[in-house]
Amino acid sequence: KQEVTQIPAALSVPEGENLVLNCSFTDSAIYNLQWFRQDPGKGLTSLLLIQSSQREQTSGRLNASLDKSSGRSTLYIAASQPGDSATYLCAGWNSGNTPLVFGKGTRLSVIA
């Protein structure tokens, strides 16, 4: 059974710092991977989708990469801002017909 681990569980950084969030899968045969942001009491907002033919995706200050050989993904946030404070979730698929499997998230606080 696929399981997803996100490290660290919580992170607090000063504004302006670059940071990396980590995600790892017990089964490295990841087909697609998606990173989400969740604000307290809110739904999930899709940040980046890495499809089967890709190794990374970038959107603004965010860059996500996927190493399929190890089943690990990282989300890099450049020049962090207080508005980046949220919980970040990664989720992956093993194949075209399997459900999306979620990690428990990393709770990020960016201090002004």
Partner 1 sequence: NAGVTQTPKFRILKIGQSMTLQCTQDMNHNYMYWYRQDPGMGLKLIYYSVGAGITDKGEVPNGYNVSRSTTEDFPLRLELAAPSQTSVYFCASSYRGLASDEQFFGPGTRLTVL
The residues that touch partner 1, with contacts defined as CB under 8 A, are 4, 31-32, 34, 36, 41-46, 49, 89, 91, 93-105
**Least distance from partner 1 to the Cβ atom of residue 82, Å:** 22
How is residue 41 annotated by DSSP? T
Residue number with CB closer to partner 1 (7 or 79): 7
From CA 27, how far away is CA 112, in angstroms rounded?
Answer: 38
**Least distance from partner 1 to the Cβ atom of residue 27, Å:** 13
Residue number with CB closer to partner 1 (42 or 61): 42
Residue number with CB closer to partner 1 (2 or 74): 2
Pick from 66, 72, 64, 58: nearest CA to 27: 72
Counting DSSP H helices and E strands in the chain, the numbers are: 0, 11
